Structure 1
Amino acid sequence: MIDQEAVLRRYARAVEDAHTTLTELDQRSGDGDFGDNLRGGLRAALTRFDKGGTSAFGALGEVFLDEVGGTSGPLLGLLFTEIARALDSGAGFADGAGAGLTAIQRVGEARVGDRTLVDALAPAVDALVTGGPVEAANAARAGADRTALLRARMGRASYVGDRAKGAPDPGAVGIALFFWAAAAVASPEADLPAPA
């Protein structure tokens, strides 16, 4: 069973460390608020979790659905909510991540290759089917890195053309950081470098 609290706290620290990078990436492809939104959401989720009454991933889902703006806020909220729901029902982390991907694609319609967070999430979900958190983290990071080569076909970045090319999509990096945090908690001996 995954240690939700440890993952939440590790993810929050990783995003604090990567805040400047995430902001700079989003300035190339969007309005530059992704780093603030992700960091603010994680801070609020920690506060909500520390007050009690919900699981760590439940707090993440609630905060990102209800309080975090931007394009990615509600999508991340769907992912975290589905993972929390799966874990609460006795299903696995992989089941929740897969359900989250399905929900995100149902709402946003993005596919791999569109230069969105799906480019990191879909490979991570695939890796969880046959592997574990380390494989998922590596797949998410590789997927995020590949977005640097892509022209955006969805979201705000689609309006800036080739200007965003050469740097990874910030949402995909945010997803890679989440799976890195899960791997760092589940398999600390793997000593994976953070994606950003």
Structure 2
Amino acid sequence: MTLVLSQDVVTTWLERFCADVVAAESHLNQLDAAVGDGEHGSNLRQGAVAVRALLRDRKFGDIQEQLMAVAMAIVNTVGGASGALYGTFFLRLSDVGAGRNTLDLAGLTEGLGSALAGIRELGGSAPGDKTLVDAIHPAVAVLESPSTGSAGLVAALDRAATAAEQGRDATAAMVARMGRGSYLGDRSRGHIDAGATSMAMLLRCLHASAEEVTS
């Protein structure tokens, strides 16, 4: 039987990410302070608190409604560029959940690919610019690889999360080309990007939540 993610698993994923964001607030701020305003963790924490309340207080008819509500909660509470970028992520991902209470690997791959495209359109960023794109782009590339499709959902998400973490780590050697960090030039080199770090966290939480279904 092909493994799918139910709405309950999607909720678990979101709650896990919110908990990790709260725990990593100071770390994310420290990373961001090296090349930005030092508020990435604090901004995301506000969104995490709002999303937690949303998931606790509301029921959703399908995954699209669930993820659209998450997107709007983030847009309305997260400051800076992060609110728009993460709001776009969940809004674009929600499209594949229309009328569905489960998502399979094909649906997740399509949705994450659309989320990546939306982020790039909104921010104008490309791989190598030292942004969260450097985490999600390799993850989507792994999921879209023909060899990954036969691996099964949990293994595929593990590979994607690992690719995101490798992309996150690779940002340390990059020169920032977007945002405040771009003004630093070569001085932005040597620091891991905060946005890539939080995106890698999000994708690892997705894998961990899917893995729980089979454990």
Q: Same fold judged by TM-score > 0.5?
A: yes
**Contact 1:123 1:136 survives alignment (8 Å):** yes
Which letter does structure 2 place at the counterpart of 1:134? D
Q: Which of residues 112, 117, 140 in structure 1 aligns to 2:132? A: 117
SS for the counterpart of 1:71 is helix
Q: Which of residues 71, 86, 100 in structure 1 aligns to 2:96? A: 86
Which letter does structure 2 place at the counterpart of 1:112? P
CA distance in 1, matches of 2:52, 2:68: 11
Which letter does structure 1 place at the counterpart of 2:135? A
CA distance in 2, matches of 1:174, 1:76: 10
Residue aligning to 1:66: 76
CA distance in 1, matches of 2:78, 2:18: 15
Residue aligning to 1:142: 166
Residue aligning to 2:153: none
**Contact 1:110 1:118 survives alignment (8 Å):** yes
Cα shift at 1:53: 4.4
Residue aligning to 2:185: 161
RMSD: 1.9
**Contact 1:8 1:57 survives alignment (8 Å):** no
CA distance in 1, matches of 2:111, 2:165: 19
Unmatched 5+ stretches in structure 1:
191-196
**1:51-88 per-position Cα deviation (integer Å, ceiling 9, x unaligned):** 21445533321122233111121011101111122123
Residue aligning to 1:95: 110
| Superposed counterparts of 1:1-196, under 5 Å | 1-2=4-5, 3-54=9-60, 56-90=66-100, 92-130=107-145, 131=148, 132-188=156-212
Residue aligning to 2:151: none
SS for the counterpart of 2:127 is coil
SS for the counterpart of 2:80 is coil
CA distance in 2, matches of 1:142, 1:57: 27
**Contact 1:120 1:176 survives alignment (8 Å):** yes
Cα shift at 1:103: 1.0
**Contact 2:18 2:51 survives alignment (8 Å):** no
Query: In structure 2, do the counterparts of structure 1 residues 125 and 140 end up closer, same or farther at CA, with 3 Å as the change threshold?
Result: same
Which stretch shifts more, 119-128 or 154-163? 154-163
**Contact 2:16 2:205 survives alignment (8 Å):** yes
CA distance in 1, matches of 2:129, 2:23: 27
CA distance in 1, matches of 2:89, 2:75: 10
TM-score, reference length from structure 2: 0.82
Which letter does structure 1 place at the counterpart of 2:97? L
SS for the counterpart of 2:24 is helix
**1:73-115 per-position Cα deviation (integer Å, ceiling 9, x unaligned):** 1011101111122123546111111111111111211000000
Identity %: 35
Cα shift at 1:165: 2.1
